[in-house]
Amino acid sequence: MIFSILIIAIASPFSLEEKTVQGDPSLTILTDNSTSFELFEQGIASNLKVSLEKEIPTTLKYIAHGEESPIGDSLLNNMRGSDNLLLISDGNNNRGTSLGDVMMLASSLNTTISSLNIKPIKTDLALIIDGPSELIFGTEALLYVDVKQTGPFSLDYDIQVMVDDDIVINEKATGTKTFEIKKMLHPGYHKIKASIIANDYFKQNNVYYKTIHVLPKPKILFISQKDVKITKIMDTVYDVTKKSYMPRDLKPYSAVILYNINENWLRTNTDILSDYVADGKGLVVIGGDNSFDYGSYEDSMFETLLPVKVGLAGKEEESGMNIIVIIDVSGTTCSAFGTKSTNTKIDVEKAVATQIVGGLRAEDRIGVVTFDFNSHLISFLSPIMEKPDLNYTISTIQCGGYSAGTLVSAGLIRAEHMLRSAKGSKNIVLISDGITQYPKDAIAKAKSMTSQGIKTYTVGVGFDTNRQFMQDLALKGQGVYFEPTEAQRLNIIFSREYEEEETDVMGLLIFDLNHFITQNLDLSARITGFNQVVPKTSARMLITTQNTNPIVTVWRFGLGRVAALTTDPEIWAGQLLNQDNSKLITKIVNWAIGDPGRNREFDVKLKDSRINDVAEINVISETEPVLEGFLFSKITKNLYRASFVPKTTGFHDFFDASMAVNYKREYEQLGINPELIDLVSITNGRIFNKDNTTAIVEFIKENSKRKKIDEKSYTWILVLTALSIFLIEVCIRRIMENRKSI
């Protein structure tokens, strides 16, 4: 018995006890001292400190200064953990760490950040120009000149906009307004200048400069065995060379388009195309009744170039479908889904999860996992028919927990273990705001799981979703990223709703909205036929029919880009040639082209900048460029780069190119940041009226009561019990020995 108890004691048994402790009811006031905050009433912080320090210990610190507002960094430097901060600022962070990231860290450290409900008392107008930085000749330039007013009064002003030497706008206006400019521009660099004359507070932001580089029409090679209407669309955008044979020299062309070509013709030209694409050029293969499955592409050398292979879509799923739904339950998911939303992130996560369940067949297998810093099994991987209460189980999931921090990789590791021995397709759906520690570990895990046939799909939830991380995770996991409003697209992947439908006319669905080709694309076309193909493992399927037959699929081959349009715009998909849908074809070709200036022997690439920001001068040249005052470094073959720090606004010319330099961002982001309320709520902070010191004091005192989780160890009790038993046993033995001796 003694040894048994000691073995249990060695295991260090314990229980968790939650206690409420008073904490430190003190407050640190952080007040914005940057130039943009001059629009607000001054002295609020010092007056508030005098009132508050009568009730609670109060410290006042000034953050930000001059024409920079690194508010995120300032908060980081003042967080101690389990403390209270009051931020008096407009919340416009224009330098350093993201304000959203800082709020997430504050939440994990139990730091509460609150703010004040304040409004500007001075009026200012800020001017910006929004529009493309590059255009292809023949495309109309669309520019928006925005005048944004901040402050209590509506101001009148005169506005003038010039494109090169032409005045395109010269009028009077009042308050916030957007002016639209449409103009056809010739090849070369064009300078746009907008200015206003007004009696506002800052004069620095009353002039804005912008450049547009109009590129000559890219040269493309269109190969077809017959004349087709699609070339009429391309002639308006590109310099198109039409041939029925493959020229030996493809160097002059930025992209090659093959229209409905049979593999017998391609066989002798595959090596030429392979070298061409691998060297960084573009290839677009258009389907029809003489290509892909009809053109003997299957198992051919040419098929190795393509992002698709001939086959029936979905046949890999015949042995069954397996899905692990991973739900984020970390502390950040307890916060509001968005501005003025009554739902929390976890509410939306559970709604998405139940939507996935509702789209599955009875025999499909599903499992559910939650995670914070660790993973937690909610439902084993098994057929959905065996889980009649799964939706109820999901509805009972709660956010928060004892773990400090978030690890997406923890959820992925458990899901991988559950799918390892599964037969059929293997899929993970991660539902999260993407706010995690060690994001690179999660991306590496998603990428490594693809070797086991596991695809990772992601759904971002919340106004502060780390979209870049969630998109990268899906991309490396060979899946797709979805917004919550797009989550129904998951049913395109997992549901069999349309499998049995056979119709003569099929609608097209944008499957992946996070690609250059599909962004801002309105697609209303219907088709009557397509080629039977399936995407390759590392390809991206962008557009499908209703029952997931691939229509547009892309991938990278070497340094180049290859796109497959697996329908015939002449015969099966004529609606792709009308004005509403033809944008799809030009976007496919534009993506394949990539950088239109790649073929030029000498080209300069510049981006508009701001005062004192480091700008880059990129030059494509076979020899090192020479420019007085600059030293160029070789980056890659034929690419040289130099740095430039502008000190004045206006236009700066380098070689035959121009760069626009504008005022500092401090003068653009004015007024209260509209996301500040949501950001503060992440830390359970509040927005107070500046005169309501009573509410601030009560909140600080109550909020200082911290919940403390203590481990109550039972080791000492077990050791003491074992010792007691040992002593009792010794005493009993001694008594018995004494009796025998008597």
What pLDDT was estimated at residue 473? 93
Cα 100 to Cα 675: distance, rounded to the nearest angstrom? 9
What pLDDT was estimated at residue 663? 96
What pLDDT was estimated at residue 122? 95
Cα 658 to Cα 651: distance, rounded to the nearest angstrom? 6
CATH topology of domain 23-120+671-704: Rossmann fold (3.40.50)
Coil/strand/helix, residue 741: helix
Closest CA to 98 of 341, 434, 475: 434
How deeply is 638 buried, as exposed, middle or buried, from its count of CB atoms within 10 A (0-12, 13-18, 19+)? middle
Q: Residue 466: how many CB atoms within 10 A of its CB? A: 22
Using the predicted structure, report yes or no on whether residue 233 has a pLDDT greater than 50: yes
| Token pair listed for 235 | 């002639």
Gyration radius of the chain's alpha carbons: 32
CATH topology of domain 255-313+501-593: Rossmann fold (3.40.50)
Q: How far apart are the first and last CA of the chain?
A: 30
Cα 198 to Cα 155: distance, rounded to the nearest angstrom? 7
Coil/strand/helix, residue 307: coil
What pLDDT was estimated at residue 221? 95
Q: Model confidence at 599, in pLDDT bands (50, 70, 90)? A: low
Please indicate whether the domains covering 23-120+671-704 and 321-494 agree at the CATH topology level.
Answer: yes
- In tens, the pLDDT along 695-728 reads 999 998 888 776 666 677 888 888 888 899 889 8
Burial per residue of 54-70, b for 16 or more beta-carbon CB atoms within 10 angstroms, e otherwise: ebbebebeebbeebbbb
Closest CA to 569 of 219, 139, 233: 233
Cα 227 to Cα 221: distance, rounded to the nearest angstrom? 14
Percent of the chain with pLDDT over 90: 51
Closest CA to 474 of 456, 461, 452: 456
Q: Residue 426: how many CB atoms within 10 A of its CB? A: 25
What pLDDT was estimated at residue 499? 44
Cα 276 to Cα 354: distance, rounded to the nearest angstrom? 48
Using the predicted structure, report yes or no on whether residue 129 has a pLDDT greater than 90: yes
Contact (Cβ atoms closer than 8 angstroms) between residue 382 and residue 388: no
Cα 121 to Cα 37: distance, rounded to the nearest angstrom? 10
Contact (Cβ atoms closer than 8 angstroms) between residue 78 and residue 102: no
**What are the angstrom distances between the C-alpha of 80 and each of 19, 106, 613, 678, 682?**
21, 9, 32, 22, 17
Cα 239 to Cα 290: distance, rounded to the nearest angstrom? 26
What pLDDT was estimated at residue 421? 85
**At residue 657, what are phi and psi to the nearest 5 degrees?**
-115, 160
Using the predicted structure, report yes or no on whether residue 17 has a pLDDT greater than 90: no
What single-letter amino acid sits at 589? V
**At residue 486, what are phi and psi to the nearest 5 degrees?**
-105, 5
What pLDDT was estimated at residue 298? 92
**What are the angstrom distances between the C-alpha of 737 and each of 1, 185, 731, 732?**
22, 113, 10, 9
Contact (Cβ atoms closer than 8 angstroms) between residue 626 and residue 648: no
Coil/strand/helix, residue 397: coil
- Fill in the DSSP letter of residue 384: G
What pLDDT was estimated at residue 722? 85
> Stretch 117-139: mean pLDDT, rounded?
91
Q: What angle do helix axes 439-449 and 408-419 make, rounded to 10 degrees?
A: 20
Cα 518 to Cα 510: distance, rounded to the nearest angstrom? 7
Largest distance between two CA atoms of the chain = 126
Q: How many residues does the chain have?
A: 742
| Token pair listed for 269 | 């030209």
Q: Model confidence at 501, in pLDDT bands (50, 70, 90)? A: very low
Q: What angle do helix axes 439-449 and 467-476 make, rounded to 10 degrees?
A: 20
**Could you tell me whether strands 321-328 and 425-432 are parallel, antiparallel, or unpaired per DSSP bridges?**
parallel
Helix (H) or strand (E) holding 591: helix 583-593
Q: Half-sphere exposure of residue 583, counting CA atoms within 13 Å on the CB side?
A: 13
What pLDDT was estimated at residue 497? 47
The strand order across the sheet containing 425-432 reads: 375-383, 365-371, 321-328, 425-432, 454-460, 481-482
- In tens, the pLDDT along 59-93 reads 999 998 889 889 999 999 999 888 899 999 999 99
> Stretch 117-127: mean pLDDT, rounded?
94
What single-letter amino acid sits at 470? M
Q: Domain 124-215 maps to which CATH number in 1.10.3720.10, 2.40.30.20, 2.60.40.10, 3.40.50.11540?
A: 2.60.40.10
Q: Which long-range contacts (CB under 8 A, 24 or more apart) does 382-387 make?
A: 384/357, 384/360
What pLDDT was estimated at residue 495? 58
Cα 38 to Cα 32: distance, rounded to the nearest angstrom? 9
Task: Provide the β-strand partners of residue 365.
Answer: 322, 383
Contact (Cβ atoms closer than 8 angstroms) between residue 368 and residue 390: yes
What pLDDT was estimated at residue 316? 42
Contact (Cβ atoms closer than 8 angstroms) between residue 260 and residue 291: yes
Using the predicted structure, report yes or no on whether residue 18 has a pLDDT greater than 80: no
Q: Residue 304: how many CB atoms within 10 A of its CB? A: 12
> Stretch 511-530: mean pLDDT, rounded?
88
Q: Model confidence at 319, in pLDDT bands (50, 70, 90)? A: low
Q: Residue 100: how many CB atoms within 10 A of its CB? A: 21
What single-letter amino acid sits at 288? G
Contact (Cβ atoms closer than 8 angstroms) between residue 440 and residue 469: no
Closest CA to 38 of 118, 148, 95, 155: 118
- In tens, the pLDDT along 178-209 reads 999 999 999 899 999 999 999 999 999 999 99
What pLDDT was estimated at residue 339? 63
Provide the mean pLDDT of the chain. 88
**At residue 45, what are phi and psi to the nearest 5 degrees?**
-65, -45
Closest CA to 35 of 535, 667, 544, 543: 667
Cα 722 to Cα 582: distance, rounded to the nearest angstrom? 83
Q: Residue 490: how many CB atoms within 10 A of its CB? A: 22
- In tens, the pLDDT along 627-663 reads 998 999 999 888 899 999 999 999 999 998 999 999 9
What single-letter amino acid sits at 713? S
Angle at 19 between CA 15 and CA 25, to 5 degrees: 150
Contact (Cβ atoms closer than 8 angstroms) between residue 321 and residue 304: no
**Beta strands, E only, 559-656:** 560-565, 602-605, 609-610, 615-621, 633-636, 639-644, 650-654
What pLDDT was estimated at residue 315? 43
CATH code for residues 321-494:
3.40.50.410
Task: Provide the β-strand partners of residue 48.
Answer: none
- In tens, the pLDDT along 609-624 reads 999 999 999 998 889 9
Percent of the chain with pLDDT over 70: 94
Using the predicted structure, report yes or no on whether residue 559 has a pLDDT greater than 70: yes
Helix (H) or strand (E) holding 78: helix 71-78
**At residue 76, what are phi and psi to the nearest 5 degrees?**
-60, -40
What pLDDT was estimated at residue 681? 80
Coil/strand/helix, residue 47: helix
Domain edges within the chain: 2-19+710-741, 23-120+671-704, 124-215, 255-313+501-593, 321-494, 603-660
**What are the angstrom distances between the C-alpha of 319 and each of 322, 455, 620?**
10, 16, 52
Cα 347 to Cα 342: distance, rounded to the nearest angstrom? 10
Closest CA to 661 of 673, 649, 653: 649
What pLDDT was estimated at residue 396? 92
